[in-house]
Structure 1
Amino acid sequence: MKFAAITIFFSLILLHSSESAITFGDILTGSKDTLIGVVSNVGTLIPTPTQFFSGTKNLLAGYPIEVVSTAINEVCSTLMYSDSITPKIMPDLKTMNFQFITPCQKYLIPILSPGDLLKIGAFDFSKKTVILVTGWRTTIDNSDTIVELSKAYNCRGGVNFIAIDVASAVDTLFTWSALNTEKLGEYLGQALADLVKYIPVESLHLIGHSLGAHIVGAAGRTFTEITEQKLPHITGLDPAKPCFNEGENLSGLMRGDAQFIDVIHSNPGVLGKRDPTGDVDFYPDGLAPLPKGCLTVTCAHSRAWEYYVESVYPGNEFNFMAYRCNSLLKLQQGRCSRNIATPMGYASVNSLKGNYFLEVRGSSPFGLNGNKTRDEANAMCGE
């Protein structure tokens, strides 16, 4: 407390200028008032054991990696600006496929022939069509994201679930893979422009994780250029940070790429972008790089799609209730209104704008409104 008093005292002296005649008595009075305010609020400033552990974990393992990630991002941006690197493997449109996934079977359709989807009896053009694009170093046959999200949507029903095979073009060095996102997005946008000749554009919902989020963003821009229409909905799951900066060669997913864009940030500032990139941006467990239950950035980066998958299962639509706020700490201290809660994930409201924060658990079910009994009941659903 003595140290705090001395710090405040000299801070006030430093703030003194020739234009403001602050007396010594004013300084003492101001110091006393400030100290009284600090003491009266000390209870809310002392972290809980959970907050202390989370803060220590991020201090030791999260924030140092964020500094490294920022440095890599700056180097990558410089290289992109100077055009000193080019993709090692250029995407080949002929090798890209739609993978239509039902509970019983997977169907591969060349992305050049989207109309062939309607030849599959299980494809129902009257249903909503969800298209997923995954991230770096994931293939269509080894992606937990595809397996788990297809299972959740097939459990819910009423949806045609499709994954896009872009692995051959995003399985090299990250910078090369990042360079390919724009071209892959253009290819997907062209395919979607053909697809809406057979199905209504209103039925489309694109979801992208990591680099996949930037691919679907580019797809939305290309689709608009070709059709002069906007895709109705894009969901970005922890859009990749390194090499993607607004106003530079690789801008990535941006507001305006669809009529409505919702984004879930789970590893902000490291593998995922920290800045808002959608119409509404959700920050589960705040802006810390490592959310509850994660000790590595790869775990944190995956949390975005794990949260989303949980929300898709029937009964889980309101597991993750978020509040518009400036930070998680302010929310926890009761300095943000909890009168209006809105769901993150499957049931996200397409009229939302701004940044929303929410608390989560460190293990499944991650949503505070999650129910283990309900999850056990859904365990085999959709397989």
Structure 2
Amino acid sequence: MKTLPVISSAAVVLFLLQVSVEGKSVCYDELGCFTTDPPFYDLPYRPLTYLPEDPSEIDTTFTLYTNSNPTTGHVISAYDKTTVESSPFDPSGPTIVIAHGYLEYGDTTWMHHTKLEFLKKKDCNVVLTNWRKGAVAGYTVSTANTQVVGAEIALLLTKMQEWASLKLADVHLIGFSLGAHIAGYAGERLNKVGRITGLDPAEPYFKDTHPIVRLDTRDATFVDIIHTDAESLASFGFGMREPIGHVDFFPNGGHIQPGCDQDVVDRVDFDDGLYEGGKYFVACNHFRATEFFNISINFDPELLKGVPCADEDTFNAGDCLECGWRYGCNYMGYHSTLNKPSSGVELVTYFLDTRPDYPYHANQYRVQLVLGDDRRAEDQPAWLYLTLEGDKDISVELQLNEELDKVKHSSTYTFMIVTKDVGDLTKAYFRWVHDPSLLKPGEWDLLKDPKLYIDQIIVDGVDDVNQYYFCGKNNEVIAEETAVFDAASSC
């Protein structure tokens, strides 16, 4: 269960609704007009709406970085041609425009990490968008301000087409949280940018709204989404649950990220300052999308491979393991372009599990535990554990079942687990703990050692094309003892 420490009090503003509507429409010169009419007013998801603030109040700025100026940015403006003409912008390379989210600013740590990873990857133009003054208003006002910021990005790119030969097909817009919808508004005005990446797009005031209100597949030739904080609003989940891109990735189900349950001392990186470190603690699941994307730029695509699956429950049941099914596997983050859906296909959902520590890659396995049918077998309330050993390393002991239940013999149980890379599997170590209820005397084994009878354990995975059999042949395993099984090609 998430807790909300004192440091997160500012984030509570996100859920406070303003109590008035400030008119129906407003126009801002070259940016055009904005309205609070439907679908921007939408019960129950947008019950109270504001018009965006004046651009002078939002005070959006754009700073360009290239490999010739990777640390000292060059400010460019749609209202001053000389700022673009005198800049190191190179139209022969791709242009990446990055937008931050609520209560953030243009010098936030994750954006600079993204910039540096792109510049390490290739010669390109990276533009950091700073709309800090518009992002620190009440959440409803900041939500409205995203429309203006999106329009300002679109205006800048339009001017750069004229002034600097920018090609829209080479443009990649990246937005985090509210910034994802900023990218959508920008893309909607341009025909068409090559790609938009939404990093855990914000859900409040965008959930189940009309596509014109939020990021959607019409906003770019290719739209990819990473969902990491799709808990309910009641649990302070900030991210969107519904698929909205051509491809949508749901690491760890898209909500609770391993490693985000650390306490404040372990989680906060004070080297980045109290504010930066504190926000990563408060919204760790939300910000994990930015970390996944940054890692993906210069890492092996296979390290963040997702399998196509209808939903989290189906994935966790081990029913989505094969890359050959319908759409094939895809790679979360930068390399998701390696498997774009065919024309007209969208909302393809991919699932994968990760580990809690950088660089987060996990080997994902399906474990099938087949219990024997020995006549002495009795059903047992049991916690089940497995350790995998390979030719590279050995895993930690992994708990298989998340809930205690009676394990029934002559049955097969399926679990999904993640480990570090241990190589080709050679051994499996199985252990179980007998856990009878004090209220159920029939489960007590006072006069004999409780046993489970293991017929076989079958292990196969997303990353490992082999299937491993660990043959028990109805061997009995006494509670609290560890049984060792050697890998075989079949049983």
**TM-score if structure 2 supplies the norm length?**
0.55
- 1:295-306 correspondence runs (5 A): 295=261, 298-306=283-291
Report the equivalent of 2:308: 324
Percent identity between the two aligned chains: 27
Q: Give the count of matched residue pairs.
A: 299
Per-residue displacement from partner, 1:122-176 (whole Å, max 9, x unpaired)?
A: 43210111110111111122x0121211121122122211111211111211111
Contact 2:174–2:197 under 8 Å retained in 1:
yes
Report the equivalent of 2:466: none
Per-residue displacement from partner, 1:28-69 (whole Å, max 9, x unpaired)?
A: xxxxxxxxxxxxxxxxxxxxxxxxxxxxx47x89xxxxxxx9
Report the equivalent of 2:349: 355
Cα separation, 1, equivalents of 2:127 and 2:247:
24
Contact 2:57–2:133 under 8 Å retained in 1:
no
Cα separation, 1, equivalents of 2:330 and 2:18:
38
Per-residue displacement from partner, 1:262-299 (whole Å, max 9, x unpaired)?
A: 00001014201110111111001114x32111136600
Report the equivalent of 2:56: 92
Report the equivalent of 2:257: 291
User: Compared with structure 1, are the counterparts of its residues 213 and 199 closer, same or farther at alpha carbon in structure 2 (3 Å cutoff)?
Assistant: same
Report the equivalent of 1:338: 322
Report the equivalent of 1:241: 203
Contact 1:81–1:249 under 8 Å retained in 2:
no
Cα separation, 2, equivalents of 1:233 and 1:267:
22
Report the equivalent of 1:159: 124
Cα separation, 1, equivalents of 2:258 and 2:49:
39
Cα separation, 2, equivalents of 1:82 and 1:242:
11
Cα separation, 1, equivalents of 2:76 and 2:157:
13
Report the equivalent of 1:199: 166
- 1:1-383 correspondence runs (5 A): 57=1, 72=15, 78=43, 85-87=50-52, 89-92=53-56, 95-101=59-65, 102-113=69-80, 116-120=83-87, 122-141=88-107, 143-197=108-162, 198-223=165-190, 229-247=191-209, 251-269=213-231, 270-287=237-254, 289-295=255-261, 298-313=283-298, 315-339=299-323, 340-349=328-337, 351-352=340-341, 353=346, 354-368=348-362
Cα separation, 2, equivalents of 1:114 and 1:363:
45
Contact 2:49–2:144 under 8 Å retained in 1:
no
Cα separation, 1, equivalents of 2:420 and 2:118:
18
Q: CA deviation at 1:97?
A: 2.3
Contact 1:93–1:187 under 8 Å retained in 2:
no
**SS of the residue aligned with 1:176?**
helix
**SS of the residue aligned with 1:261?**
strand
Contact 1:323–1:356 under 8 Å retained in 2:
yes
Cα separation, 1, equivalents of 2:205 and 2:305:
32
Specify the code of the residue in structure 1 equivalent to 2:86: K
Cα separation, 2, equivalents of 1:94 and 1:290:
33
Q: Structure 1 or 2: larger strand share?
A: 2
Contact 2:157–2:166 under 8 Å retained in 1:
no
Specify the code of the residue in structure 1 equivalent to 2:192: K
Cα separation, 2, equivalents of 1:358 and 1:80:
30
Contact 2:45–2:209 under 8 Å retained in 1:
no
Cα separation, 2, equivalents of 1:111 and 1:97:
10
Asked which structure has the greater CA Rg, the reply is 2
Q: CA deviation at 1:100?
A: 1.0
Q: CA deviation at 1:250?
A: 7.6
Q: Quick one: higher RCO (CA 8 Å, sep 6+), 1 or 2?
A: 1
User: Compared with structure 1, are the counterparts of its residues 333 and 221 closer, same or farther at alpha carbon in structure 2 (3 Å cutoff)?
Assistant: same
**TM-score if structure 1 supplies the norm length?**
0.70
User: Compared with structure 1, are the counterparts of its residues 207 and 124 closer, same or farther at alpha carbon in structure 2 (3 Å cutoff)?
Assistant: same
Cα separation, 1, equivalents of 2:138 and 2:302:
38
The runs of 5 or more residues in structure 2 that have no matched partner are 5-11, 20-41, 232-236, 262-280, 364-418, 422-491
Contact 1:98–1:164 under 8 Å retained in 2:
yes
Specify the code of the residue in structure 1 equivalent to 2:181: H
**SS of the residue aligned with 2:314?**
helix
Specify the code of the residue in structure 1 equivalent to 2:56: D
Contact 1:136–1:211 under 8 Å retained in 2:
yes
Q: CA deviation at 1:233?
A: 0.6
The runs of 5 or more residues in structure 1 that have no matched partner are 1-56, 62-68, 224-228, 373-383
Cα separation, 2, equivalents of 1:131 and 1:246:
26
Contact 1:290–1:297 under 8 Å retained in 2:
no
Cα separation, 2, equivalents of 1:221 and 1:75:
27
Q: CA deviation at 1:91?
A: 2.6
